[in-house]
Structure 1
């Protein structure tokens, strides 16, 4: 594209300048005919010709600089940034291979080679000469063995490391047993700061695929369900973080070994904390996979305050798994203890509330749903809601396994005065005592029978 446009621009510039020079020459000669000697008349076109050469040279430099910036500096770096964004939502090697084809090969004119160095097995190579030659692969295998240190490296003409990216004809990323080579003659023209971002996303991708692979492998053996449950629990917070002016507690009880319920607490800064709780449809391995996918997607999002992008990222990730009839309900909220407010998106969670102290006791304020199910239908415009907080407010996030527990008469706990009164009477206690009271109520109300759903809740007390 760059070379073609350069030729077109240069041809147009040459034609226009020469035509203008020719026109001026004819005009000046005709006006001065009979008044000047033939030497002067012959000199006019010569001077105009030399001037046209100078003007043409200047215009060509300007056009070349413009095209160079547009087609090389901006476009190529843009494609590398596009590849990073695509990689962020790749969950398998097939996804990576498709991103290689769509962006690095088709748009950025790169050649790609992806190797499992432990097995010395080529997982992917572009259908181009440089990445298909056995001699190139053999030299790369000798230069970069399995013991090669993880990191990002620029590659020179002899397929070894070069210290300066200006001398590079490609680059290599190495993490664990995987090595990804990208050959491109424009490597030295990319914005050098983008390489660190690319390597970070590559590491996250390898880690993400390993988690999903482990879950799938464990689940294929029925005797290993307990290991699968342990792997899933590892996604959840092992200990609630110590956050100024915000006390936290949680309860998690899966119906079977694996569950679709999940929760997380992610401090953003000294005054802002992201709270997340959700429930995946169904049970078993598919629900566990989606649960891990949601947790990982939220964790890797750089801007934890952009709730809209976060929930759209989760929606895209779930749809990308192509698991039939799988979706999640989800609550994402940012508690700001400095401005004393909670901003949130409630994607069809039925039970999130705030218990706020008043002269007549604790009032229950609902954090109403303002978004649709995530991962199965097209999401409309997502809006962020906001609710004011006061010192002593208790925020309760719970899956429907809490409120839908039934007694012997089939009455759900969430519909009873007993439930509301317990919430209000326990709201003055610590978060852990509050959770203990609710769990005790659930077990008594259920009559010590087997529960019919996962029970998960998270509580945050402000101030």
Structure 2
């Protein structure tokens, strides 16, 4: 009895020292296998660890000559999931390849199976399966904790990267607007996550002209944000050489098509405004139609132009629309995250409600207009969680 206790203590000490030495997972598995066979005198040992409920992978033995499968198939996973106490392998319905082992021992922690250990014995030698469970539990819990700590570190690193990406993205959005003595602007920008695929820009051409752009990348998150950052850089580079709307859209489409290769697309509304002529020209490339309210006119939906960018090269059609006498006017551009917000009955806020809101509140200063619009949306939707990026661009021309 004393010999068995000494052996158990030596095995426990070996495992504890390995854990305290902060060895990696593979090293811990090797120490564990050595302990089972070297100290506890099992003839062979194999361990399958549950990575997820649908994934059970072999961790030991590491030998390339092992005939055991690297992962359990669905049938074997179901059979193992029903094993909650040590049982002889011969009494299970596991495939014959596992019958070279005598026992299968589950390792349970907080009612969760961490692993199943297969053990071979020498004849009828007495074995302590309860101690095997305890020892295995110590090793597997240590490995599980390492995995959780690593996952937490990775998540924290990702959060830091996303926070930096958010800061960079907001720096790329315009902070100073040209010609503010000739028009007023209010913007609401809220990405679905830390970063998003919405974009807007106001570019001064000269004392009398400006470009206004709002765009939306299909998709969300960091990938969409990177695509949009590239789009913004491309727009700024193109505008240095030309202010001609068709040229800008064609060049943007070519760049987007080459970069995205049909996997995503970008919707764009691009407008050119001349303050002296009170004239607006625009191209809508598949974007939700902005609204234009001019004194004495009904609300207009600016929908004409082309299809989305990035799907066809060259674009199958392109039309520039020009509107004269745009003065004392309100322009409202937005992304689909606004009108697709819905209430508890799955009813979307929608374009019709947005147009009705403009008809009632077009007289408000732009900041008050945007705040009132957000209040109206929240009342309709009961403060829902946004499921997409949302941008509102409200511009009043004096």
TM-score (norm 1): 0.49
> 1:267, 1:336 → 2: CA distance?
11
> 1:285, 1:252 → 2: CA distance?
16
Aligned to 2:276: 338
Q: Greater relative contact order (Cα 8 A, min sep 6): structure 1 or 2? A: 2
What is the CA deviation profile of residues 135-171 of structure 1, one whole-angstrom value per residue up to 9, with x for unaligned ones?
xxxxxxxxxxxxxxxxxxxxxxxxxxxxxxxxxxxxx
Aligned to 2:285: 347
Instruction: Kindly report which structure 2 residues correspond to 1:283-302, keeping only aligned pairs within 5 A, or say none.
Output: 283-301=220-238, 302=240
Aligned to 1:71: none
| 8 A contact 1:259–1:454 mirrored in 2 | yes
Aligned to 2:212: 275
After TM superposition, give the deviation of residue 325 of structure 1 in Å.
1.3
Aligned to 2:379: 444
After TM superposition, give the deviation of residue 267 of structure 1 in Å.
0.8
> 1:334, 1:429 → 2: CA distance?
24
Aligned to 1:321: 259
Of the structure 1 ranges 380-389 and 265-274, higher mean CA displacement relative to structure 2 is found in: 380-389
| 8 A contact 2:343–2:384 mirrored in 1 | no
What runs of 5+ residues in structure 2 fail to find an aligned partner? 1-153
> 2:168, 2:261 → 1: CA distance?
20
Q: 1:219 to 1:245 in 2, by over 3 A?
A: farther
Aligned to 2:348: 412
Q: Secondary structure at the match of 1:234?
A: helix
After TM superposition, give the deviation of residue 439 of structure 1 in Å.
1.6
> Does residue 367 of structure 2 align to residue 432 of structure 1?
yes
Aligned to 2:194: 257
Of 377, 385, 389 in structure 1, the residue corresponding to residue 325 of structure 2 is 389
Q: How many residues align?
A: 242
Question: Aligned-residue CA RMSD in angstroms?
Answer: 2.2
- More helix by percentage: 1
> 2:351, 2:344 → 1: CA distance?
14
Q: Secondary structure at the match of 1:275?
A: strand
After TM superposition, give the deviation of residue 322 of structure 1 in Å.
4.2
Q: 1:389 to 1:414 in 2, by over 3 A?
A: farther
Q: 1:406 to 1:382 in 2, by over 3 A?
A: same
Q: Secondary structure at the match of 1:282?
A: coil
What runs of 5+ residues in structure 1 fail to find an aligned partner? 1-217
| 8 A contact 1:260–1:283 mirrored in 2 | yes
Of 365, 371, 378 in structure 1, the residue corresponding to residue 300 of structure 2 is 365
TM-score (norm 2): 0.57
